[in-house]
Every structure is written in C-alpha cells, then in structure tokens.
Amino acid sequence: VNFEQQTSSIKTAILGDMFELGDEAKKEHQCIVDLVSTMLLDNVILIGEHFYKAKIVASKIIAFKSFEDFKVEFDTSKIKNTSILIKGSRGMALERVLELL
C-alpha cells in the first residue's frame, strides 16, 4: 500500500541519505526533497549530509546533518501517534529511530 494514500490522520516520513550514488548524489537527494514537498505528508524528517545540503522550501520538512543531531535536537513527542515511514540506506541504521519513539 502506498504510504501517502493510507487513511491515517497524520503521516510522517523519516528518510535517510542514499549511499552509493556517486556523482548523482546531490541531484538525486534534491529530487527526493522536491518530491516529498508535493506529497500528502504532514511531516518529513531528513537525516544525513546529502539531505542536509539540499534546498528545502516546504515548512513540513526538517533536515538534520546526522542521526546524532536528530537524536539531540528533535522532540520525538511531535511524531507520537502518527503513522511513520522510515527509509534510508542500510548504512544510515535508521532502526535507531525506533528506540527514541
């Protein structure tokens, strides 16, 4: 089922950097930022250096340079009781987010 189309009232996407993109990394991360800006998501949290450097214009998007920055700076109570999609390269180890919820 497409996450965007789920009927839950509040949807949050937590996305981590995509590794092994080489010279295309900057462009591909910007494409993802542009895409999620237009999607029916309430919150988008981006984690990783590539996402952190992307141009973000939508107020529903917040970026953190690293997982440690996210862990220290983000109040996870803001996303309690929401549907959450977590996706990123294996090297980002985003399963650590679950420990914070």
CATH number of the domain enclosing 40: 3.90.190.20
CA atoms within 13 Å, Cβ hemisphere of 25: 15
Report the chain's mean pLDDT, rounded to a whole number: 93
pTM exceeds 0.85: yes
pLDDT digits (tens, 9 = 90+) for 27-83: 999 999 999 999 999 999 999 999 999 999 999 999 999 999 999 999 988 888 899
Confidence of residue 1 (pLDDT cuts 50, 70, 90): low
Residues in the chain: 101
- Number of domains making up the chain: 1
Domain residue limits at 33: 3-100
